[in-house]
A and B are shown apart, each in its own frame.
Chain A
């Protein structure tokens, strides 16, 4: 009886403990959000919302400071779009190869290698972009600088490929063999089966992978800080130097006077980033639900 009581007490203590741990995550997240909004919203005392978002000049430290972040938003959008265009087809090809075409031995080797690539610190990828890719681009494409939109997109794609490929591979591998057999039994060859049956059945997981990969690209700071070039202009060519939202915050936060308009503007940029990733998460949720494969 005594033993039983002790068990019940343990049980209560443990469940309370995990409840508090779980709740604290939620509270900390909420406090960070609150902090972000409290620090950022007052930027509207210095600049109107439309001028902030659609203004084309970012001169935060001049005498007549201008806080237009359109160049930063367009830089983030352009880098993300280009990185996705490079990463998604490549990742899909890797995932299809690994799950449908490669032999067991090759899969056992390549899958872990891809996952190790995902764990390379971004500063090292940025370093590689600076020291190897930038001079290469500069010399071979006759550019003023190799630190530009294309370089950043290339490095970000390199970072996104392992994430996207690995999750896509899981999704494609989990398509029931019975569906593939049904397709083969109708006289379909391997490619027809992959294209018409296997990949469509895995779409929910593939979309989740793509959105997660893109989220990582949008939020990535170090790589773009190092290789994107840093010019706050709206890019007209893929070889223009750019200044995405994240790298702008990282580059300027240390020199902004606490509580000043510049400081407020940087926090407001944080809010914009938060909203963008939030929207992407909602899209990911929606898409993974929409294409969810229900087994008969």
Chain B
């Protein structure tokens, strides 16, 4: 399998504090990588480096490099908008725009140059089906997205992300604010999405990481402690620290 994303000796600073320290990770194409670790260990900061979302935070600095399909995303004059089209992101708290369900998805298409009304309608429907939301919202496409339930809003955010057909999807604890049934739907969705996308997901839920991911990386205090295939991390971790964390002895 190809390495879709290669994180090379990445260090990220907020001011003078490094939140991510010399991290090296390779992510295979069409796999799911779960990032686990206690709060504040740098998981979220790390995935926000992959679509350069941290650029909008002032007084931050990045060292090292991230390659996607072999090309550096920190290269001079690299177009950040293009990067974010290729690397979609789903946030911890569902954040639909205060617009209609339809417009929430159409917005991403329009700003990416798709003007044809028929194309937009087709892709809105396709992405809603892709996010397993179509049946629930097909009769209320013109209603405000803020009227949807929390789980539906989060799936709408996933639909919005896959509508512009990225190659990689970053998920920052996408199910942490949801009830068990909504969480299950999101997890099933991630399994389906793996066929087309490379997924990197941050999660605090060990069972979730074990269920949905192919590979798991354990981080602590900004350092990558251990990375392996998920089964190995959860059944025979290489380090005692990892074992203590995945079995709930600390964290």
Identify the A interface with B (CB < 8 A): 176, 178-189, 192, 196-197, 200-201, 293-296
Contacts and interface: CB of A to CB of B under 8 A. Distances in A.
Given A187-B82, A296-B95, A181 B112 contact: no
B53 A181 contact: yes
B150 interface: yes
A186 B160 contact: yes
A242 B221 CA distance: 71
14 contacts: A176-B95, A178-B91, A178-B95, A181-B91, A182-B160, A185-B89, A186-B107, A186-B108, A188-B108, A201-B97, A294-B98, A296-B94, A296-B96, A296-B150
Contacts of A201: 97-98
A117 to B, nearest CB: 28
B164 A187 contact: yes
Contacts of A192: 111
A201 B153 CA distance: 17
A92 B189 CA distance: 42
B97 A182 contact: yes
Given A187-B82, A187-B84, A196 B95 contact: no
B93 interface: yes
Contacts of A196: 107, 111
Q: Which 9 A-B pairs have the closest CB atoms?
A: A186-B108, A187-B85, A185-B89, A178-B95, A187-B84, A187-B81, A182-B95, A188-B111, A192-B111
B242 interface: no
A217 B112 CA distance: 42
B88 A185 contact: yes
Contacts of A189: 81
B241 interface: no
B157 interface: yes
Q: Is the interface of A mostly helix, strand, loop or mixed?
A: helix
Contacts of A295: 146
B83 to A, nearest CB: 8
A200 B98 contact: yes
A94 B182 CA distance: 43
B56 interface: yes
A186 B111 contact: yes
Contacts of A182: 91, 95-97, 157, 160
Contacts of A188: 81, 108, 111
Given A185-B161, A200-B99, A293-B98, 5 more contacts: A178-B95, A187-B111, A188-B108, A294-B98, A296-B94
Nearest to B88: A185
A184 B84 contact: yes
A184 B111 contact: no
Nearest to A103: B58
Interface in B26-84: 51, 53, 56, 81-82, 84
A185 B56 contact: no
A195 to B, nearest CB: 10
Nearest to A175: B98
Contacts of A293: 98
B150 A187 contact: no
A186 B111 CA distance: 8
Contact of B146 (A186, A197, A294): A294
Among B82, B95, B107, B108, max chain A CB count under 10 A is at: B95
Contacts of B88: 185-186
Nearest to B84: A187
Contacts of B161: 185-186
Contacts of B81: 187-189
B53 A184 contact: yes
Nearest to B150: A296
Contacts of B107: 183, 186, 196-197
B112 A187 contact: yes
B101 to A, nearest CB: 13
Contacts of B150: 296
Contacts of B85: 186-187
Contacts of A294: 98, 146
Contact of A185 (B84, B112, B153): B84
B79 to A, nearest CB: 9
A23 B161 CA distance: 54
A186 B156 CA distance: 13
A189 B111 CA distance: 9
A18 B11 CA distance: 59
Among A183, A189, A295, A296, max chain B CB count under 10 A is at: A296
Interface string B89-131: 1010111111100000001100110000000000000000000
B158 to A, nearest CB: 12
B56 A184 contact: yes
A187 B108 contact: yes
A185 B89 CA distance: 6
B122 to A, nearest CB: 18
